[in-house]
Amino acid sequence: MEAAKDANLQLNYYQKEDQVLLAVDCIIFGFDKEDLKILLVKRNLEPEKGKWSLIGGFLKKNENLDQAAVRVLKTLTGLSDIYMEQLHTYSNVDRDPGQRTISVAYYALIDVNAHRFGDIQMDSANWFDVKKAPHLIFDHNEMVQKAIARLRRRALTKPIGFELLPEKFTMRQLQTLYESILDKKLDKRNFINKINSLDVLVKLNEKDMTVSRKGSYLYVFDKEKYEKKVEEDGFNFKI
């Protein structure tokens, strides 16, 4: 009894600490066969109502942050089963002028064309080229920049594309994806050699005939080999 009372007394120190609001904000990357894009929404609440914003929401009592990020994404876009990764936690005292809110940023990768959006009203949401993103509320531009840097680093050390490309794609589309992530032109022959050395692609006996008269072979990722490469220590995709 004494011990339990002691413990209770000591637990009171939790009560003296400042509590804060915790939010998640999602940087949603998409690829439309040409450009790397992010999904933004028009904020419908003060402060900064009517400005472009990342998709976000507050953490609830009965969920962890990963679950909150999945819920926010699903509620606003209808998307589920999406690749998401925690990026960074933003905590400057005045970052949200409404009330002090700490925000945990997540980034997600999706194939723009494979998804139909749910609840989101698409007149208040839009895909933007990452290089032409508008001024966003709070510190959301900073979050986007960090997400791009993370995605770039990931592309340099792990295979990427599985989540961003359609199931079947041409070598040219894969190169364009890498070029848009790394934001530079790549030499075609070097790129093909590098990708082939990763040994994560399966060449299909099938062509995309829309691109040229000769057509371009289609590829799929070998999911097992791809996952194995992602798990490994990493490589250096210097091109």
Per CB under 8 A, residues contacting a copy of itself are 6-7, 10-11, 13-15, 17-22, 45-47, 49, 58-66, 86, 88-89, 91-93, 98-102, 104, 152-153, 156-157, 233-236, 238
Q: Contact at 8 Å (CB) between 206 and 217?
A: yes
CA distance 87 to 89: 7
CA distance 73 to 202: 31
Instruction: Say which residue the tokens 């790129």 belong to.
Output: 191
Nearer to a copy of itself, 102 or 112 (CB): 102
In the complex, the smallest distance separating the C-beta of residue 239 from a copy of itself, rounded to whole angstroms, is: 11
In the complex, the smallest distance separating the C-beta of residue 216 from a copy of itself, rounded to whole angstroms, is: 29
In the complex, the smallest distance separating the C-beta of residue 70 from a copy of itself, rounded to whole angstroms, is: 13
Q: Largest Cα–Cα distance of the chain, in whole Å?
A: 85
User: Counting beta carbons within 10 angstroms of the beta carbon of residue 236, is it exposed (0 to 12), middle (13 to 18) or buried (19 or more)?
Assistant: exposed
Nearer to a copy of itself, 74 or 100 (CB): 100
Pick the closest to residue 235 from 163, 154, 162, 146 (CA basis).
154
Pick the closest to residue 216 from 172, 162, 177 (CA basis).
172
Nearer to a copy of itself, 38 or 69 (CB): 69
CA distance 190 to 39: 32
Instruction: Beginning with the edge strand found earlier in the chain, give each strand of the sheet holding 36-42 in spatial order.
Output: 52-53, 36-42, 125-129
In the complex, the smallest distance separating the C-beta of residue 19 from a copy of itself, rounded to whole angstroms, is: 4
Nearer to a copy of itself, 14 or 116 (CB): 14
In the complex, the smallest distance separating the C-beta of residue 209 from a copy of itself, rounded to whole angstroms, is: 37
In the complex, the smallest distance separating the C-beta of residue 177 from a copy of itself, rounded to whole angstroms, is: 17
Nearer to a copy of itself, 162 or 235 (CB): 235
Nearer to a copy of itself, 102 or 220 (CB): 102
CA distance 199 to 113: 26
